[in-house]
Amino acid sequence: NAFDKIVVGEHPLEREDLYPNLYKEDYRQKVHFSPMRGWMNDPNGLVFKNGDFHFFFQHNPFGRRHGGVNVCWGRAISPDGVHFKEYKSAIRPTNYKNSIASGSAILDENNVLGFGKDTIICAFTDYHTEVFEGREKGDTKGQYIGYSTDNGKTFTRLTKDPVILSAPNEHWRDPKILTLDDGTFVIAVHELFEKKNCVSFYASKNLIDWEFKSRTMDLYECPDFFRLNVIGTNEKKWVLFGGNGAYRVGDFIDFKFVPEPQETFYIDMALDYPYAGQTFNSYPSEDFRYYVAWARESEPDLIIKPAFSQSATIITKLSLHKTKKGYVIFREPIETLKTLRKGKGKKFNLKEFKLSIPSDTTIYL
């Protein structure tokens, strides 16, 4: 039972004698975010607050593999979307049966909880872990709502029970939370319905009582859902996409997503393509959204890293345009990368970064 409870120790940055050369190891990415130690994958809880990008992510701080155990929400903050400072994990498992799976976050702009408009509200899945010999099997509990009044350092669950229950043995996870113009909260969550992948929509006025509204079939896990102005027109459209990069554009009418009669496009598609991308909620403009994904490596052991594995993509800027093929997302790097300076008056120069790598190895810079 010694390993059934996580004991939080000192932060690695506070012990330079134990962790020399931290963030400067061989093969450490120079532009893409990677955790100081352990595994990372899906972006979680992306929210823009007081000029900062708050970036949470799936994280196993105790190993270079996901493993299904010890998985929590890692935490980092960036003032410009390029330079990140990493902090202690924000949401941790409460027992060995469950891990903290993917989710999202938003600011309580209407002060529904009564703690102030800067309160961060998160939605996440309490997910079952792998079963170990001699231990009791656990089930996915469902979708939880939490809140933070200390800038995302810690979160408190609204209720001890999930606000949306998961059916036994169902892969029901990855809630994306948002607020409609009338203040109604909506969660778009991945479900299996009749053994088929779908995104289901739930609505609530108080964050505790949620009602099922509709579902959209054939979209995979880690959904994102947001509204954008169509550039150069007076139109507003909703964008819904899944973890594999497939997205659809349409309208959200009476809590039902109605897609445009056009083909499904992909925001990313390659062999080692970025996965489980999400956009930052609570940005004060609907002309564009900032987007980041997991820059996954299908064979991470091809590169031997000292104590960490995986990274995030650079943050990019999404805008929606009407073309001959329909409504299409355009994407460009975050503005900071275009004007990044290393010291006053000195422009960012990628050639200044030199790495010694095998000729047959692919890395993310």
Distances (CA, A) of 294 to 103, 161, 201, 282, 363: 14, 30, 24, 21, 14
Query: Which H or E run includes 338?
Result: helix 335-339
The answer to whether residues 297 and 303 touch, using CB atoms and an 8 Å cutoff, is: yes
Residue 175 CB partners (closer than 8 Å, separation 6+): 103, 104, 123, 124, 125, 143, 164, 187, 188, 189
Residue 31 CB partners (closer than 8 Å, separation 6+): 82, 314, 337, 353, 365
Q: For residue 275, which amino acid is it?
A: Y
42 part of the active site: yes
How far, in Å, CA of 125 to CA of 14, rounded? 31
How far, in Å, CA of 343 to CA of 335, rounded? 17
Set 42, 108, 224, 268: catalytic member: 42
How far, in Å, CA of 305 to CA of 318, rounded? 32
- Burial class (CB within 10 angstroms; exposed 0-12, middle 13-18, buried 19+) of 352: exposed
240 token code pair: 């819904």
State the catalytic residues.
42
